[in-house]
Amino acid sequence: MLPNVIYRLARNLGLTRNKIGLRWPVIMLAAALVAPWGSLSAGETSAPSQRSRPVDYFIVVTGSEILEGAYADSHTHFLARTLRPLGLHCAGSLTVDDRVPDIVAALSFAVRRASLVIVTGGLGPTDNDVTREALVQFTGIAVREDATALAELARRFQTPPEQLRPNLRRQVRVPERGGYLKNPNGTAVGLVFEMPERVIVALPGPPRELQPMVQSELVGYLSRRFGTRMPGAALTLRFVGLGQSQIDHALKQHLTLPPDVATSSQFDGLRVDFTFTLPEDTPAARHHLEGLKTEILAIAELRDCLYADDPATTLEDHVLGLLERRGAKLAVVELASGGRVAAGLLEARGASGRVAGIAAAGDEEPLRRLLPVADEVWSGAPAGKRLELLGTAAAKATGASFVAVVGPVLPPHDGYPAQVEIVFCDSEGNRHLRLPLRGGQNWRSYLATEVLDQLRRRLRPGPKS
């Protein structure tokens, strides 16, 4: 039997016992079922100074593409990680289809769990962007076109307001009770529906719009509305090549963290972030975290895998920074990785000045013709030598002083798993290494990270590893 609260939600969505096997895939529930069922009382929305526990909030993620498996839900992770240091507690997360009845049913569930509900997605100009309509229906709060937001939209499109298409203008219709959050990275503003005992905030779906909006607009609003604290002092250390459990074990083995330091971590393949947070952002707190960083850097296995001490610097940024300090340029030649290494570098800061050229193909022959490598040199050369020839040709064609060549996938043999041979070419010669394929379906992303990590080790000052 389903728990009562889940069953009631299923019933609201029209999922009876007879139908639940047919329609259950349209909804995924990840709720932390810890508070009692029932509506909020006035005491639960008391003044900020009277709060004795964190503010509860609930996330409703909309998007059929998530339910179909095309994309993963990154919003819940980002929001929980960002809002926790402010004194907000995520009571649950719910993903539903882009349908008004489903969104309304999810909102009915969410407002019984928390006084703050955050909805993501469905604010854009297309026909299936129905979140605004669902919120109006659920709250009874009308929306109207905001003149200031409309003027910004017109400026963005360099078009007079009266010439903007209706579907674009719909994105600047904001609640009559509440307001909106500015969106400098897109066209749809965030929406704030304010009710006496609860607030519903709607954010645009694209992460490049949602994340800056949360940090620059939503955090300040929540501090004013709920009395949440502004973010305390934080230290984020970014590692590559070590797993979460390995880093956690090393920290526990070598350090005793003070009880007031909150620790959180997240990972993306072979990249792991550990964040250490103190409640207040004061000079003393920042000094305390700097001391903690010094202690962590004294742990050799962690120091070797650390590439950044701030959340904004990516591994690609770091590699380009190492090239910048050397006054060097990089060329990338890719087979197995399918252009993933180059794509990551080209999206990073400073790529135009440090990436001299890229070449990617499905097999060696197109690369040989593109770079080019003469027939008489290529013919009869062994596999490893051919990768060196591609690297030498890329350096000559682009003027790069460093070249990374990612070879083809080598099938399993003699008990060894499938591997990829990598060659790094620079003034010190050619370095060959073989990396085993790992990461399952995401093996290309894992491989790209490993190549960047090896390049980081090759470029950094001191002994090469």
Domain boundary among 308, 330, 364: 308
- Based on the fold, state whether residues 219 and 238 are members of the same structural domain: no
Comparison of pLDDT for 462 and 19, the residue scoring more: 462
SS3 category, 150:
helix
Question: Number of structural domains, the chain?
Answer: 3
Shared-domain flag, residues 335 and 424: yes
Same domain, 10 and 140: yes
Same domain, 177 and 81: yes
Crossing angle for the helix pair 100-110 and 4-12, nearest 10 degrees?
150
Boundary residue ending a domain (198, 226, 254): 226
Residues 221 and 257 in one domain: no
Q: How many CB atoms lie within 10 A of CB 36?
A: 7
- Beta strands 190-194; 262-268: pairing state: unpaired
Residue 47 placed within a domain? yes
Query: Tokens at residue 35, please?
Result: 């508070």
Same domain, yes or no: 204 and 279? no
pLDDT of 23 higher than 90: no
- List the end-to-end C-alpha distance of the chain, in Å, as a whole number: 56
**250, 284, 308: which is the final residue of a domain?**
308
* Residue 231 pLDDT level (bands cut at 50, 70, 90): low
Query: Tell me, what's the pLDDT at 463?
Result: 58
Q: What is the CATH number of the domain that holds 290?
A: 3.30.70
This prediction's pTM: 0.62
- Residues pairing with 191 in the sheet: 180, 202
What is the span of the domain harbouring residue 241?
A: 234-308
458 has pLDDT over 60: yes
What is the pLDDT averaged over residues 56-78? Answer: 92
The whole-number pLDDT of residue 41 equals 27
CATH at 79: 3.40.980.10
214 and 254 belong to one structural domain: no
Q: In the sheet that 402-410 helps form, which strands lie side by side, from edge to edge?
A: 355-360, 330-334, 402-410, 419-426, 429-436
In a domain, 465, yes or no: no
Does 215 score more than 90 pLDDT? no
Instruction: Specify whether 276 is located in the same domain as 199.
Output: no
Nearest to 388 by CA among 449, 377, 418, 398: 377
One domain, residues 325 and 454: yes
14: region left, alpha or beta (phi > 0 left; psi from -120 to 50 alpha): left
Whether residue 451 sits in one domain with residue 329:
yes
Any idea how long the chain is?
Answer: 465
Residue 464 domain-assigned?
A: no
Q: What is the pLDDT of residues 265-288, one digit of tens each?
A: 877 879 998 989 888 889 999 999
CATH code, domain with 375: 3.90.950.20
- The answer to whether 453 and 240 have CB atoms below 8 angstroms apart is yes
Residue 374 covered by a domain: yes
Shared domain check, 379 and 296 = no
